[in-house]
Amino acid sequence: MMMTSKLLEYLDTLFPDPKCELLYATDYQLLMAVVLSAQSTDKRVNSVTPVIFSKYPSLEDLANASVEDLEDIIRPVGSFRKKARFIKEIARRLVDEFNGVVPVDREVLESFPGVGRKTVNVFLAEFYHYPAIAVDTHVERVSKRLKLAYLNDSVLDVECKLMKKIPRESWAKFHLQMVLFGRYYCKAVKPLCKDCPLKEYCREKKKNLD
Ligand code: SF4
């Protein structure tokens, strides 16, 4: 069996119905949660977003929020000064330019503060089921270990290679499954290689089985 078929099959066994672990109720809440998740964890983000969105229940409230107050709430996720400004500015632009609706346009979205290609991919795939493979730290690590990409490939290289190798209809689900696989099995430190059926394709197997 080809390596990618075996990988997809294994991911389907482990995570038949993968879900995004970020909590959100609306389009802008998801976008902001993804922005906050940069260099942080979903768990930490989930500990602050309900506080933000109950204290500032509308986009107008967020656009007018005090940056210092947002910083205090956001502190646990890290880079809180920068992220507090991003949240307020995103809210302001959504109110002023987009009638409060997050635009479904990659280029426009990437012009928002704190929003890069990965954030857009996560947002579009999760909220609109748009085919996209967001390459975060887990997806990048697992892809490189499994020789789906070279070790010195950029994040964009990894994304392009994955899009060539994985069927388009599986992209969004594949991203979620790879994140979960990287988070709970193929971890950065001490991956659980012993029972992994992908060992024969993996660069890491020897290191972690000794
Ligand atoms: S063998 Fe280990 S490092 Fe390789 S894919 Fe499996 S869990 Fe990850």
Q: Degrees (nearest 5) of the Cα angle 192, 39, 206?
A: 25
Between the CA of 67 and the centroid of ligand 1 the distance, in Å, is 43
Q: Ligand 1 pocket by C-beta < 6 Å: which residues? A: 145-146, 185-186, 191-193, 196, 198-199, 202, 204-205, 208
CA 98 to CA 179: how far, in whole Å? 31
CA 205 to chain centre: 26
Distances (CA, A) of 120 to 3, 115, 139, 162, 194: 28, 7, 16, 17, 35
Q: What's the mean pLDDT in 149-171?
A: 96
- The highest-level CATH class for domain 27-128 is mainly alpha
Q: Residue 127: pLDDT above 90? A: yes
Q: Degrees (nearest 5) of the Cα angle 149, 38, 93?
A: 120
Write the CATH number of the domain with boundaries 3-14+133-203.
1.10.1670.10
Minimal-distance CA residue to ligand 1 atom 2: 193
Mutate to test the pocket of ligand 1, among 205, 207, 209, 210 (most ligand atoms within 8 A of CB): 205
pLDDT for the residue 3: 86
Whether 194 is catalytic is no
pLDDT for the residue 180: 95
Q: Given 27, 88, 136, 173, which residue is catalytic?
A: 136
Q: Residue 210: pLDDT above 60? A: no
Q: Residue 153: pLDDT above 60? A: yes
Tens of pLDDT, residue by residue over 8-65, are 999 999 999 999 999 999 999 999 999 999 999 999 999 999 999 999 999 999 999 9
Whether 136 is catalytic is yes
Q: Indicate the domain borders of the chain.
A: 3-14+133-203, 27-128
Average pLDDT, the chain: 95
